[in-house]
Amino acid sequence: MALDFARMEAKWQDAWYEARINESDPEPGRAKFFMIFAYPGVTGYLHVGHMRGYTVSDAIVRYKLMTGHNVLFPVGTHATGNGAISFARRVERRDPATVDLLTSNGCSEETLSRLTDPVEVVRFFNDVYLNDYWKRFGFMSDWRRFTSTINPDYNRFIEWQMTKLKAQDLLIQKPYFAPACVEHGPVAIDASETDILKGGSAEVLEYTLLKFDLEDGRKLVAATLRPETVFGLTNFWVNPEVEYVDAKVGDETWVVSRPAAEKLALQMDAVEVVSSADGAALMGRRCRAPFTGKMITIFPSVLCDPEVGTGLVMSVPSDAPVDWIGLVELRVDEGAKERYGITEEMIDAASPVPIIETPGYGPLPAVEVTERMGIKSLDDPRLEEATKEVYKTGFHKGVMNSSCGEFAGWAVEQAKDAVREQMIEAGAAAIFYDLSEEVLCRCGSKVFVKKIPDQWFIDYANPRLKEQSKDHARTMRILPREYHDNIQNVLEWYRERACVRLGNWLGTRFPFDRRWIVEAIADSTLYPIHYVLAKYVNDGSVSADGMTEEFFDCVLLGEGDFDSVAEMTGIDVGTLEAVRAEFEYWYPLDINLGGKEHMTVHFPVFLMNHVGLLRPEHWPRGIIVNWYITATGGKISKSKGGAQPIPDAAERFGVDAMRLFYAHIASLYVDVAWEDEKVESYRDRIERIWSFANDLVEMDDGPPADIDAWLRARMQSRLAQAHKHMEQFDVRSYANDVYFEMSHDFRWYLRRGGASKECVRDALRVWTQLMAPVTPHLAEEIWEALGMPRFVSDSQLPKAEVSDNAELEEAKERLLAALMTDISEILKVTSIEPSRMVLMTAPKWKADMLGSALREGESGADVGKLIREAMPNLSPEARKEAPAFAKAVASDVNRMSHEERRRASARIDELEVLSAAACFLKEQFGCDVTVFSADDPKRTDPKGRAKQARPGRPAVYIE
RNA sequence: GCAGGGGUAGCCAAGCCCGGUCAACGGCGCAAGGCUUAGGACCUUGUCCAGAAGUGGUUCCGCGGUUCGAAUCCGCGCCCCUGCACCA
């Protein structure tokens, strides 16, 4: 009977949502479980990788639902930012890839024409996520609570959040340096290049500008990343072929390249270009270095790029390979020397000065490295590599030497900041930000780093907030464990974070200055709350207009009285009471699950905003981080393609197969490559279970047997394990037991002659229930075949009842299985075709001795004592064996772990068990099987195997 | 730069926090047997090496250490990877 997955999925989803088992309202007194996954940003279609975390969330939620919890599992979308805007722009200009993407996903021309509006884009994808992804996967989500961050009610919520942050003194203003287009304001620089045409991998570099005094009072301004190397300055580099400018900066005149002057003007007040300055005219002149006051000479270098830094470079040949090779080349460049009046003496005076002791190098690492690599020319591409090598070791491991004044003996890393601070304080230096490579805005113009003088920040550096958050995080359920520990460091490292931005973005206007839009991370920190509110907004009982500060203060903080708030907001008292009660019921959030990209961004601010604004009893209780599903060649990427559309995959593999894949393929905390064959093999597994379950349902009833008790016992211990795994959110182990181990249990039962229909049905019912969290559609189908009413999805999983008797039943089958393994081993090694098999169970005195050794417990068994105890009652033959056996038992027992002791303690009558199983063994091995006790005089034992018998390990004789 | 993760048998991947149940879960692949007209599917068994008796040997990146005992703990080394820095 083949499974029609699509039909089965639709059938059950319709039925669940029709019966509204996915909806949840407060039930005072009943335990609740509130879980969300981090809502996705609206930037286009999602791919199969995204469904991993969502599916695991749903499995957890479904399990909670089946263990008595009132479950809240709402979903929404994060539309803040420019994702939808840039998508709409691509549609507008008929970008072929975008149009193709849409039409191949079944989007009509009419819809396409609507999607030039960003708000329509959000609306469109909200539907796609909801219907094609989450409902298509059968999630137990309360759809009435759907929300999106550009809804007016959500805007009110964020305004309130910002208001409260300000009231808590957690909003501060200070200057900020951000990449920006002159035309379009701030842009985001990221690898997916949503804002930009070019330069996604650029970084903002923090240069130190050092001012070198010329005799005429002007200042040559060099940009460096290594200000601490001022001690090793020997000369200055200026490009004679470049036009420089004199620029007035405050009351100083700086010489920099023209592009640098333009960039400086974006970052400093009152920068004014007054005249052009000729680079060539500076050659051979002298300038005074900042800090050390050393006089150095200006040399020509065509390597000074006017677009990089200030276009002027200071020279530290001891530690900068480029500077060293520059000097080497200059020395032999007669033309240049003559043209610019550079003398040998000048070059001699620029000899490298050792300043940093670098482990593994002599005093002049740059000289050493270039010589070792055989670099002789500035054209040598390996110069970059050489520079990296010297900088890396020098910066991280180097120590300033004795020529560095008060900094002698300092680690370079520390000296850098200290030297810079001192120079800035002395007016000899300034900070300058620049991009590491060219970045172009979508409009085509260049992006620069621009000073934003009045940027707003959320003050995550606030010590009280930080400490409270760290303390609370320690008490939270955070998985994986590594992140539970690491989040302490992340919180510690958190600083102020820009929380609003200028420019054309979707989002909430900043209540204290409407020009700004609340930034995308800052508006998604408290949002689990909004799912509670959204139910009332979506059903019309609360309108966005009514969501004033008083409203939120009232329902979320318990402030104000209902009557006056009702009057102010126009929301009736009953509704206000209900909203507050509902918030109090569901909050705090139990689990927030999200991808690993959230570890250093969303999760910390999610936590800190809760701690900063809400009462402690509402702080979140748990975080689960999921790693990614990757494409075989690397990351699945929307921009780079290769992403399999979710509905297509669902059609091809079946939703349950995908759900099982996500749940079982690996722990949540590793990346896993998506492979079609893997998913197919899970689909096969589902089909196999389906057909097996059908066989079980339809099997003929047979007589009761001993093995029935085993199957019942087995189900109970499986159930116990399953609960244990799920309580720890270990979905992978849970799935492993349910989908792989448990089918073996049923097979073993049948193989051992089990035939009780009632017993099988009881067990199958439990098995089906255990499948429901991960593969709910399959489970419902089996549930129905079992003739069970309603849904397995809202049935209650029984608690496990593991009795001592159940332990014994399991121990019996364990004995048999172990014995069969031993027999197989013997057969394999000896290649005997068995015709007769004699099994001899350990004599009673051995079992007694093991028992008494086990009773000694953790303290350890004593060989002498075991022997003394046993001797009086032993037969003469046994007396001969006893000492050796006692020794073996003592050493075995003393090495056993808890679990082993527990198992070994199960006292079963082996003779009886094996006698009852003789028939079965005969069938299995196709030979005659007889069973004796090892001390039975009637036994057949030509090879004298009997004395090998140990409890749990009967002696075997085969011929 | 800041903060982290990892290297396990042919492949994927558990185990590592809490050392002994570990030749190391499970899956895939492969092999043998069963079932079947045949093939597929399915079931059972096996899959580091040796072995005519249930055993022994050698393994969990490398080296060293702690321990009666280490895949698991500690140190050093080699190699690989991730997240973040107003994309979300």
Distance between the alpha carbon (CA) of A895 and the C1' atom of B22, Å = 14
From the alpha carbon of A898, which nucleotide's C1' atom is closest? B21
Residue with nearest Cα to nucleotide B4 C1'? A486
From the alpha carbon of A177, which nucleotide's C1' atom is closest? B86
Q: Position of tokens 């172990």?
A: A818
Query: What is residue A230's DSSP assignment?
Result: G
Residue with nearest Cα to nucleotide B32 C1'? A828
Report the candidate in A604, A608, A590, A591 with the shortest Cα–Cα distance to residue A468.
A608
Burial class (CB in 10 A: 0-12, 13-18, 19+), A896: middle
CA torsion A711-A715-A717-A721 (nearest 10°) is 150
Distance between the alpha carbon (CA) of A572 and the C1' atom of B27, Å = 58
From the alpha carbon of A840, which nucleotide's C1' atom is closest? B54
From the alpha carbon of A837, which nucleotide's C1' atom is closest? B53
- Given a contact cutoff of 8 angstroms between Cβ atoms, the answer to whether A447 and A436 are in contact is no
- Given a contact cutoff of 8 angstroms between Cβ atoms, the answer to whether A497 and A522 are in contact is yes
Could you tell me the mean pLDDT of each successive run of 10 residues in chain A, 959 residues long? 85 98 96 96 89 96 98 96 86 89 89 94 96 97 97 97 95 88 77 71 85 94 91 94 93 94 90 90 93 93 89 93 93 92 92 87 87 87 80 79 88 84 91 86 85 91 93 93 90 90 87 92 95 97 96 96 95 96 97 93 95 96 92 52 76 94 94 89 93 92 92 94 95 95 93 93 96 97 95 96 87 91 89 88 90 73 83 85 84 75 83 92 89 90 87 90
Say how far apart CA A508 and CA A526 lie, in whole Å.
14
- Given a contact cutoff of 8 angstroms between Cβ atoms, the answer to whether A322 and A330 are in contact is no
Distance between the alpha carbon (CA) of A391 and the C1' atom of B63, Å = 30
Beta bridge partners of A931: A839
Distance between the alpha carbon (CA) of A751 and the C1' atom of B35, Å = 15
b/e for A148-174, b at 16 or more Cβ within 10 A? bbbbebbbbbbbbbbbbbeeeebbbee
A81's CB contacts (< 8 A; 6+ apart) are A41, A505, A506, A507, A520
**In the structure encoding, which two tokens stand for residue A931, read together?**
């069973």
Question: What is residue A235's three-state secondary structure?
Answer: strand
Say how far apart CA A90 and CA A74 lie, in whole Å.
31
Distance between the alpha carbon (CA) of A737 and the C1' atom of B14, Å = 12
From the alpha carbon of A77, which nucleotide's C1' atom is closest? B88
- Given a contact cutoff of 8 angstroms between Cβ atoms, the answer to whether A37 and A53 are in contact is yes
pLDDT at A2: 66
Residue with nearest Cα to nucleotide B46 C1'? A828
Say how far apart CA A362 and CA A359 lie, in whole Å.
8
Distance between the alpha carbon (CA) of A80 and the C1' atom of B33, Å = 62
Sign of CA dihedral A127, A583, A140, A628: positive
pLDDT tens figures, A892-941:
787 777 777 777 888 889 999 999 999 999 988 888 899 999 988 888 88
Query: What is residue A701's DSSP assignment?
Result: P
pLDDT at A640: 38
Rg (CA), chain A: 38
Count other Cβ atoms within 10 Å, centred on residue A215: 10
Say how far apart CA A354 and CA A530 lie, in whole Å.
62
- State the helix-helix crossing angle for A573-586 and A528-538, rounded to 10 degrees: 150
* Chain B footprint bases within 7 A of protein beta carbons: 1-6, 12-15, 17, 20-21, 25-29, 41-46, 51-55, 81-88
Distance between the alpha carbon (CA) of A794 and the C1' atom of B60, Å = 44
Burial class (CB in 10 A: 0-12, 13-18, 19+), A834: middle
pLDDT at A193: 67
Question: What is residue A634's three-state secondary structure?
Answer: strand
Distance between the alpha carbon (CA) of A813 and the C1' atom of B54, Å = 18
pLDDT at A869: 85
From the alpha carbon of A38, which nucleotide's C1' atom is closest? B88
pLDDT tens figures, A572-601:
999 999 999 999 999 999 999 999 999 999
The DSSP-derived string for A752-785 is TT---HHHHHHHHHHHHHHHTTTSHHHHHHHHHH
Count other Cβ atoms within 10 Å, centred on residue A19: 13
Distance between the alpha carbon (CA) of A739 and the C1' atom of B10, Å = 25
- Given a contact cutoff of 8 angstroms between Cβ atoms, the answer to whether A863 and A893 are in contact is no
From the alpha carbon of A490, which nucleotide's C1' atom is closest? B3
Report the candidate in A543, A541, A562, A544 with the shortest Cα–Cα distance to residue A553.
A562
pLDDT at A181: 84
**In the structure encoding, which two tokens stand for residue A173, read together?**
């203003």
Judge if pTM exceeds 0.95: no
**In the structure encoding, which two tokens stand for residue A397, read together?**
């491991």
Say how far apart CA A897 and CA A282 lie, in whole Å.
82
Distances (CA, A) of A931 to A405, A475, A839, A947: 92, 58, 5, 15
Whether residue A480 has a cis bond before it, omega within 30° of 0: yes
Say how far apart CA A227 and CA A414 lie, in whole Å.
11
**In the structure encoding, which two tokens stand for residue A423, read together?**
């120079």
The DSSP-derived string for A453-473 is EEEEEE-TT-HHHHHHHHHHH
Distance between the alpha carbon (CA) of A734 and the C1' atom of B24, Å = 20
From the alpha carbon of A900, which nucleotide's C1' atom is closest? B21
Distance between the alpha carbon (CA) of A916 and the C1' atom of B34, Å = 24
Residue with nearest Cα to nucleotide B42 C1'? A688
Residue with nearest Cα to nucleotide B87 C1'? A190
Say how far apart CA A521 and CA A80 lie, in whole Å.
9
- Given a contact cutoff of 8 angstroms between Cβ atoms, the answer to whether A118 and A48 are in contact is no
From the alpha carbon of A600, which nucleotide's C1' atom is closest? B84
Say how far apart CA A598 and CA A604 lie, in whole Å.
8
Sign of CA dihedral A179, A184, A188, A191: negative
